[in-house]
Amino acid sequence: MKNNLISMFHSKINYLVIISLTIIILAVYWQVHNFDFVNYDDDVYVTKNPFVRYGLTKSNILWAFTTTYGNFWHPLTWLSHMADTTIFGMDPGKHHISSLLLHLANTILLFLILKQMTGALWQSAFVAALFGLHPLHVESVAWVSERKDVLSTLFFMLTISAYVSYTKSLPLPVKDNSLKLKYISVMFFYALGLMSKPMLVTLPFILLLLDYWPTERFQRESSRKLIIEKTPLFILTIISSITAFFAQKWGGAVASLDSYPLWVRITNGAVSYVAYIGKMFWPLDLAVFYPHPGESINFWQGAGAGGLLVLVSSVAVIMRKKHPYLLTGWLWYLGTLVPVIGLVQVGVHSMADRYTYIPLIGLFIMLTWGSHSLFSKYFTGIDKAGLQRFLEITIALVILATLSIISKQQVSLWQNSLTLWTHELTLFNDVSAGYNNRGNAYIESGNYTKAIGDLNTAVKLSPRAADVYNNRAVVFIETGQFRLAMSDLNKAIELNPLYSDALINRCGLYVSIKRYGDAIKDCSYAIKIDPNKAMSYNSRGIAYEMSGRYDKAIADYSKAIAHSPQTAILFKNRGIAYQKSGKAQMAKKDLKKAEELEKLH
């Protein structure tokens, strides 16, 4: 009877914790339902991606599983975005809510998994609350492009949950069908996670850490057996790692050793490890882009950071018997950051808040169980138990309230591109990317004066950045300054001869000044570089149409429509070309379709 009452009590408390976590996370993040997409990768993942924009179709699903577009092979992430556009269209607020709900599910799953493994209700709840409310996690939730973070973490949690279920079934005979099914479910969820984001490659190591604490399987079984048990998972890790490396390499995102020497990568990695810890304790001045210092990085700062990491590692090892959660938590943090710490440098940033989404769980475990142990040491005896609980709850509430306030403010910065990049430039006012992206945001809002100001600054800071010249050319075209636009586009193409966007823009500019032959040449080359861009065919179609070659124009418009079948302007252009060629019925059909699409969007 007593056990049943305790079970009922804990069940009600579990529900109370889940409801509380839900309410406070929604209170912090609900503002995202009014947010826009931003001009930082959201175009790649949603707004200008024709496969995503038109939702879940057979051809688009096939594309998701066969492409490394965006420098990743993550088909489930693509399918997630496609599902959103199928259900919600291009309403950015709904896309944001999808990411928020995934984050909420991750938080609740983390609580339930820790509670199931450790039996520690309040420690599990506090770790989950830290995970759900920490400002460093805002980027993963409030940025639509980081759907891969929250989605892959959902499968990360489900993998661990399936693994816990598997371990609780031991020691059943290996040939037992139910045991096999449980292990297959572990592999299944892990595979889904890797197909969402390859950063999950360290998950088999996490399972080994959980074997050490809290499940304590290392005390009952040999380490060799536990490692062999995870061989199928390690095979998936190897396959995913190779796929991810080549996807990044082919996409040109992996920097060569000439760009970032090995000593720079190692030094920056050590500094980043410590910097993330610092931001965990003091989560202010968080940026969307932290510029890489390159060879100007302070070697001795890196050596000091490395020394600190060795010191903490040594303490965790020394105290492992009495406080095993310290070793598990610390190695969780170190290990899960390895794929993104910069030893294989991807992009030109030194670190990123989104990389901490899973790793910080390890530090949260260390702090939560460690502080509880510390309080228990100094508040021994029944007479002090109430005081201990009061102090723990009070401190926890203060910490969570503070994090909630900071996170809510951090979330608000993701409202749109202007708010995001204006904040970035308050932190780093010498970063070309900040001015370039804010300049683009001003272009989208029609504020060409401010756009020119930002893009001029970006050119001064990065005189060899082809995209900056291309973006400034767009402003010059919009304001009728064709000579300046041509100069910038020529410079952009000189710096990057394979820059298809600049070629398309120069094609359009050639059409404006009636140099149709040059326009066709540029667009044809852009199509050769990237045959999947609808606007390349559309621009060449305009050049053919303006030069009176209507059949070729119609053929190009048709190819553009095949790549982007929900774009009204393409049907309108083809309709006009049909009119000029005397095909009235075809023209009428296309123009009607264009009207229907304009009403939809």
pLDDT digits (tens, 9 = 90+) for 369-391: 999 998 887 776 555 667 888 88
Q: What is the pLDDT of residue 179?
A: 87
Would the CA dihedral through 46, 51, 54, 55 be positive or negative? negative
Which tokens is 173 given? Answer: 């005979």
Interacting residues of 39 by C-beta distance below 8 A, sequence separation 6+? 417, 437, 440, 441, 444
Q: What is the pLDDT of residue 348?
A: 76
pLDDT (mean) for 525-534: 92
Q: Are 54 and 565 in contact (CB under 8 A)?
A: yes
- Please give the Cα distance from 195 to 117 (Å, whole number): 27
Output phi, psi for 243, to 5 deg. -60, -45
Q: Are 516 and 500 in contact (CB under 8 A)?
A: no
Element (H, E) at 59: helix 58-66
Q: What is the pLDDT of residue 177?
A: 78
Which tokens is 83 given? Answer: 């599902």
Percent above pLDDT 70 for the chain: 94
Q: What is the pLDDT of residue 54?
A: 85
Which tokens is 563 given? Answer: 């790549």
pLDDT of 2 strictly over 60: no
- In this structure, the number of other CB atoms found within 10 A of the CB of residue 308 comes to 14
SS3 label, residue 291: strand
Question: Three-state secondary structure along 122-183?
Answer: HHHHHHHHHHHHCHHHHHHHHCHHHHHHHHHHHHHHHHHHHHHHHHHCCCCCCCCHHHHHHH
Express each pLDDT in 481-498 by its tens digit: 999 999 999 999 999 999
Question: Of the candidates 549, 601, 547, 548, which has an alpha carbon nearest to the alpha carbon of residue 571?
Answer: 601
pLDDT: which is higher, 89 or 532: 89
The burial class, CB within 10 Å (0-12 / 13-18 / 19+), for 584 is exposed
Interacting residues of 298 by C-beta distance below 8 A, sequence separation 6+? 267
> Mean pLDDT for the chain?
92
pLDDT: which is higher, 557 or 54: 557
Q: What is the pLDDT of residue 228?
A: 95
Report the range out of 45-49, 110-114, 254-258, 347-351 with the highest average pLDDT: 110-114
Express each pLDDT in 579-588 by its tens digit: 999 999 999 9
Output phi, psi for 175, to 5 deg. -80, -5
Express each pLDDT in 397-443 by its tens digit: 999 999 999 999 999 999 999 999 999 999 999 999 999 999 999 99
pLDDT of 174 strictly over 60: no
